[in-house]
Structure 1
Amino acid sequence: MTNYEIRQEVDTFMFEGHDTTAFAIAATLYYLSINRQIQTKVVEELNTIFGDDKHRAISHEDLQNMRYLEMVIKEALRLYPSVPFFGRKVLKETKLGFLQFSHGLFTETQNFILTRKNLTQKDFLLKIKLVEILSVMFHSVLDQEIVLDKDSQC
């Protein structure tokens, strides 16, 4: 890898790590704010762990005992994923079960939707068809490789 490519990778990791952590905290706080009963259970769990000593340092053991809070965070991230969708371009003809993906097809997985609805095979096929239609409509754009200027400042 060139120094420029390494710098791009580091920039990606630094931004994504910060962004996803901030989003996880925001999603969990939002989830707790709209679910009073769950918020109450989290407070009860924390009171059980810390008792009257609210100012002591948190230990590794304390974190291990926050089982309910851990489930709340995971559920918040399931409902509000930090990466709500991602796309990929099919590089070679691929068959996956009953689906056939053509070379050059742009596919998109929408985590945000998949976590909210049980998709039937018909729903899934309709989504795939929509992606195929969009792929044809934007074929010239999707075939273009995005190249960053090596001299640009990141």
Structure 2
Amino acid sequence: MYELKTRENDSSVIEFIETVENPKKREDAYKLLDIFTETTGCKAKIWGTSIIGFGAYHYKYATGHEGDAPLVGFSPRKAKISLYFATGDTEREELLNDFGKHTTGKACVYINKVADVDVDVLKALINRSITFLRETYPGNLIFVIGDGGEQ
């Protein structure tokens, strides 16, 4: 049976961000932490070893494969910052037209730095992703509201 490697865990988000070697990327990680926390209202959690996720949902595909994933998230990787939004939503593509400098992969949106993108569009992408997942997986969304303490 397939073992899902990217699971939510109790690692410290702040301690993880502090391990980001590039100071500008670390600063952007803190900016993104604020933007995602404010927009989702969720407490940030580490997923796997390097994804900062917000909220969660349970998915189940027609193949029978199922698991849990963050609603949205990001990872300050060495090359680029990966942003995680729901895939399969045509409105996401429309929003990306006005997002700013970015590239896309199958599931991720990649940026070099926060200054390259429109923060209002980023907030719209976060909200749209949550709405899409709410519609796609009704009743399977989990929102862990932040308590204002250590992330």
TM-score bin (small chain): under 0.3
- Rg larger for: 1
More strand by share: 2
More helix by share: 1
- Tell me which of the two structures has the higher relative contact order, counting C-alpha pairs closer than 8 angstroms and 6 or more residues apart: 2
